[in-house]
Amino acid sequence: MSQQEKANNPSGMQSPTPMKGPGGMRGPGGGFPMGAPAEKAKDFKGTLKRLISYLRPQRFKLIAVFILAILSTVFNIYSPKVLGRATNKLVEGFVERMGYFGKIDAAIKAGADANTIAQLRALPIPSIDFGYIWNLVMLLVGLYLFSAFFSFLTGFIMSGVAQRTVYKMRNDVNDKLARLPLKYFDSKTYGEILSRITNDMDTVGTTLQQSLTQLITAIVTLVGVTVMMLTISPTLTLITIIVLPLSAIVTIFIAKRSQKLFIARQKELGELNGHIEEMYTGHRVIKAFGHERKAEEKFGDINERLYAAGWKAEFMSGIIMPALTFINNIGYVLICVVGGVFVTGGRIQIGDIQAFIQYSRQFGQPIVQTANISNLIQSTVASAERVFDLLDEAEELPDKVNNKVIEFPRGEVTVKNLRFGYNEDAPVIKNMNIDVKKGQTIAIVGPTGAGKTTLVNLLMRFYEINDGTISVDGVDIRDLKREDLRGMFGMVLQDTWLFNGTIKENIAYGRRNATDKEVITAAKAAHVDHFVRTLPQGYDTLLDEEASNISQGQKQLLTIARAILADPAILILDEATSSVDTRTEAYIQNAMTRLMEGRTNFVIAHRLSTIKDADLILVMNQGDIIEQGTHEELLSKQGFYADLYNSQFSA
């Protein structure tokens, strides 16, 4: 992500649903507001084709959705025509009754004799055919019921199609993540990866479920309404269509200006988000140096700019609907005037005018809806493209078919002529050779960037080496299954990782089916049992997502207990006591000394006091082992290690 993208969204996540535009305002058709910029895919056609391939297994359901959506729309479109027929029948009966009474009134006024007037009154009084109208009303009810039923079926089936499609995509992504090398995760932010799995996937599911049926309905409505209007009056249809270009011109004119304003608003919003994240993550430093007022002033300045940009963007976007309503009302006036002329001339009936006005109101809806859906589809394809980019990432090399198995690992590690670089042009480790025997403790020291942690990543095959070999018990690690290889190692890292669960569950993560007794034994060995028992729920204490309800040192103790429980053949400690106080460190060193007996240990440390008793100390600098030996041997050489040691303790 670029710096601007991170500022716009500090977590790296995309907008969870495309149904709302900036500011949460819905557009006229339920999608993006007019003028709000829609995200576009780099390869729209290719991504859309690939997305359709996920829908192919459910093509029969999609065909059913298409047919049901058409039926629902057709029934809905035909309803105004039926209602117009009912109106015509009512008007026809009313006119006949008025004609009947009009003749009598005219005869009386003309001075007709009583016999003539009596004959006129003897004629049957015309009645309104309520039976016919009632049948039409029942037909209308039936049409609306069938339309609603088919619409329900369409939504029900499409919901299953969308969720099944997203389910398949989510499974593919989850399987892919398990096959991706550590290199991928090191090059991406957590927020960016999470966004593709959650928000982008939700965007695809929402659009498939809603927009696909809406698009079908909009197209069928547009075609159907046009046909029905033409059957009533081609002239009135022409008047309706003539208004459309004027609406389009107004929409484009306003949308171009509002889009620039929305972009400006997003820029200010991104700056505000970045400032807020910075202020809240560093609030202790701000308070310590007394910069609260300065931070508030900067926030106020950005907030003012955001208010101005947001107000202009929303105002400009909000003009569109009143403008379109005004233009459409002009169209309705023209239809009513011309239609009234046609009715008086006997060219059409009044019920047809009623139906036509209903159709003209429906005519503009699918056009606006289609425009909004096109925005949604563009955003959805962009989301799908990000998901497919993840699925297309290079995977770690597959394990060999005929893997070797070390049934009883001893923990002997041999590194020969090792060369590795995260970029091949810039090697981090140039030519490393190590021969570690069972039970030895190997300490690795050196300045930041010397390659210490890189060596650990290579031992566990998180990265593939460029040249040379790494062997465990004489077997090249590339000939072992990754799962078997990593099962030989136990790790305690500088960065603690605890999940949302109880303390017992976090310790037991080190070994499958561990008993409570084994968990407590490991906790005691790591000097963690005492503080756990002082907690109200003891080992059943629930840790939150970031384990913020215990101290950093206690987190580290729990990870050490987890490693003790795992009982590995090879132990890796990467600054394992960096977050522990001096007294606790002494306890842990005693426990670790007992734990290290009989297994191979790699200890990475900047605090040289923790590695005095190591069997071998490797001093690394710029990817090479420049010195090696015991603590006393290296001090006597008065070399690089001696300088490091003296810089820590000579004062």
Percent of the chain whose pLDDT exceeds 70: 88
Pair of tokens at residue 71: 């039926």
The per-residue pLDDT for 28 is: 35
What's the pLDDT tens digit per position in 151-162?
Answer: 899 889 988 888
The per-residue pLDDT for 99 is: 76
Q: Are 72 and 118 part of one and the same domain?
A: yes
Q: Indicate the pLDDT class of residue 19, thresholds 50, 70 and 90.
A: very low
CA atoms within 13 A on the CB side of 159: 6
Chain center to CA of 88 = 54
Separation between Cα atoms, residue 119 and residue 116, nearest integer Å: 5
Q: Are 171 and 261 part of one and the same domain?
A: no
The per-residue pLDDT for 155 is: 87
Q: Which residue is associated with the tokens 């079926």?
A: 153
Does pLDDT of 25 surpass 70?
A: no
195 belongs to a structural domain: yes
Long-range contacts of 207-211 (CB under 8 A, 24+ apart): 207/18, 207/376, 207/377, 207/379, 207/380, 208/55, 208/158, 208/161, 208/162, 208/165, 208/166, 208/380, 209/155, 209/158, 209/159, 209/161, 209/162, 209/163, 210/19, 211/31, 211/373, 211/376, 211/377, 211/380
The per-residue pLDDT for 203 is: 84
23 belongs to a structural domain: no
Buried b (16+ CB within 10 A) or exposed e, 395-419: ebeebeeeeeebeebbbbbbbeebb
For range 250-264, the mean pLDDT? 79
Q: Which has more pLDDT, 243 or 467?
A: 467
- For residue 138, the domain's CATH number is 1.20.1560.10
Q: How do 475-476 and 429-436 pair as beta strands?
A: unpaired
27 belongs to a structural domain: no
The per-residue pLDDT for 575 is: 65
Which residue range forms the structural domain that includes residue 296?
A: 234-347
List the alpha helices (DSSP H) in 233-282: 234-281
For range 142-152, the mean pLDDT? 91
Phi, psi of 70 (to 5 degrees): -65, -45
Q: Are 226 and 243 part of one and the same domain?
A: no
Q: Are 265 and 200 part of one and the same domain?
A: no
For range 79-92, the mean pLDDT? 84
Whether the full predicted model's pTM is greater than 0.75, yes or no, is no
- Three-state secondary structure call for residue 628: strand
Q: Indicate the pLDDT class of residue 145, thresholds 50, 70 and 90.
A: very high
Q: Give yes or no for a contact between 503 and 529, defined as CB atoms under 8 angstroms apart.
A: no
Does pLDDT of 293 surpass 60?
A: yes
Percent of the chain whose pLDDT exceeds 90: 3
479 belongs to a structural domain: no
What's the pLDDT tens digit per position in 547-598?
Answer: 667 777 778 788 888 888 888 888 888 765 555 566 766 766 666 666 677 7
Separation between Cα atoms, residue 447 and residue 135, nearest integer Å: 91
Tell me how many domains the chain contains: 2
What's the pLDDT tens digit per position in 567-580?
Answer: 888 888 876 555 55
What's the pLDDT tens digit per position in 167-221?
Answer: 998 899 988 888 888 778 877 777 778 878 888 888 888 888 877 788 888 888 8
Q: Are 195 and 66 part of one and the same domain?
A: yes
Q: Which residue is associated with the tokens 């965007």?
A: 203
Separation between Cα atoms, residue 163 and residue 356, nearest integer Å: 39
What's the pLDDT tens digit per position in 370-397?
Answer: 777 777 787 788 888 888 888 888 888 8
Separation between Cα atoms, residue 510 and residue 493, nearest integer Å: 14
212 belongs to a structural domain: yes
CA atoms within 13 A on the CB side of 119: 5
- CA-nearest of 526, 513, 509, 628 to 573 is 526
Q: Are 196 and 293 part of one and the same domain?
A: no
Q: Are 181 and 210 part of one and the same domain?
A: yes
Across the chain, what does the average pLDDT equal?
80
Q: Are 121 and 222 part of one and the same domain?
A: yes
Q: From residue 305, how far is each of 22, 210, 260 by CA, in Å?
A: 16, 36, 15
Q: Are 99 and 155 part of one and the same domain?
A: yes
Q: Indicate the pLDDT class of residue 422, thresholds 50, 70 and 90.
A: confident
For range 89-107, the mean pLDDT? 77
The per-residue pLDDT for 555 is: 81
Does pLDDT of 538 surpass 80?
A: yes
What's the pLDDT tens digit per position in 331-351?
Answer: 888 888 888 888 888 888 888
208 belongs to a structural domain: yes
The per-residue pLDDT for 585 is: 66
- Three-state secondary structure call for residue 172: helix
Does pLDDT of 36 surpass 70?
A: no
The per-residue pLDDT for 22 is: 32
Does pLDDT of 260 surpass 70?
A: yes
The per-residue pLDDT for 11 is: 37
Q: Are 316 and 249 part of one and the same domain?
A: yes
622 belongs to a structural domain: no
Q: Are 191 and 239 part of one and the same domain?
A: no
Cβ neighbours of 281 (radius 10 Å): 10
Q: Are 132 and 260 part of one and the same domain?
A: no
Q: Which residue is associated with the tokens 């929409």?
A: 251
Q: Give yes or no for a contact between 453 and 402, defined as CB atoms under 8 angstroms apart.
A: no
* 5-14, 358-367, 384-393, 629-638, range with the lowest pLDDT: 5-14
The per-residue pLDDT for 590 is: 67
The per-residue pLDDT for 183 is: 79
389 belongs to a structural domain: yes
Of 396, 427, 453, the residue at which a domain comes to its end is 396
